[in-house]
Amino acid sequence: MSDLDYVKWRDLPTEARKYILFQAFLSPLLFTWYLIPYLMLIQGMGIIKVGLIFTLSSLASAFVNVLVGRLLESFTLNYLIFANCFIDFIALIVYYIGFLYQNVWFILLASIVDDISDIFSPSYLMYEYLVYRKKPRENLPIS
């Protein structure tokens, strides 16, 4: 099998197929990475205020991530991925409230919550490593 040959869907383990479908449903939400700063700017927030919100949220989440990071080893990957999705969901709800009422404090809170969920991101890589067998993983068209 050459590097250009692709693994067939039926040849992937069931866990890998479930994970691919999960990612397919989750990926449309990624546009929020670009949409949220844009919404901040079109609502009249200056570039300094937007930058300040993201800077403060990064600082606040850094402290929380240290505390949460110590607890990660006591949970399975499924729970960690669920926690990431749930926290992102909460952040989107708080963003919605912040934009609806044009409340900067809610937008800052949502940004902090969104940054906190980043601590769970390595769970996806570890899960991928477990669900893809070595041979098909080498031939998947991903980088």
Residue 62 confidence class, pLDDT cut points 50, 70, 90: confident
For 98-136, what is the HEC assignment?
A: HHHHCCHHHHHHHHHHHHHHHHHCHHHHHHHHHHCCHHH
Amino acid 111: pLDDT: 93
More confident position, 41 or 72? 41
Rounded Cα–Cα distance for residues 21 and 27 (Å) = 10
Rounded Cα–Cα distance for residues 128 and 74 (Å) = 19
Whether 73 is covered by a domain: the verdict is yes
For residue 70, pLDDT over 80 is answered with no
Whether 89 is covered by a domain: the verdict is yes
The number of folded domains in the chain is 1
Rounded to 5°, angle at Cα 42 from 96 and 54: 65
Is 131 in contact with 7 (CB distance < 8 Å)?
A: no
**Which residues form the domain of 64?**
10-136
Whether 115 is covered by a domain: the verdict is yes
For 39-59, what is the mean pLDDT?
92
Amino acid 137: pLDDT: 55
Whether 2 is covered by a domain: the verdict is no
pLDDT digits (tens, 9 = 90+) for 82-135: 999 999 999 999 999 999 999 999 999 999 999 988 888 888 888 888 887 666
Amino acid 141: pLDDT: 59
Amino acid 6: pLDDT: 66
Rounded Cα–Cα distance for residues 41 and 136 (Å) = 44
Phi, psi of 67, deg, nearest 5: -70, -45
Whether 143 is covered by a domain: the verdict is no
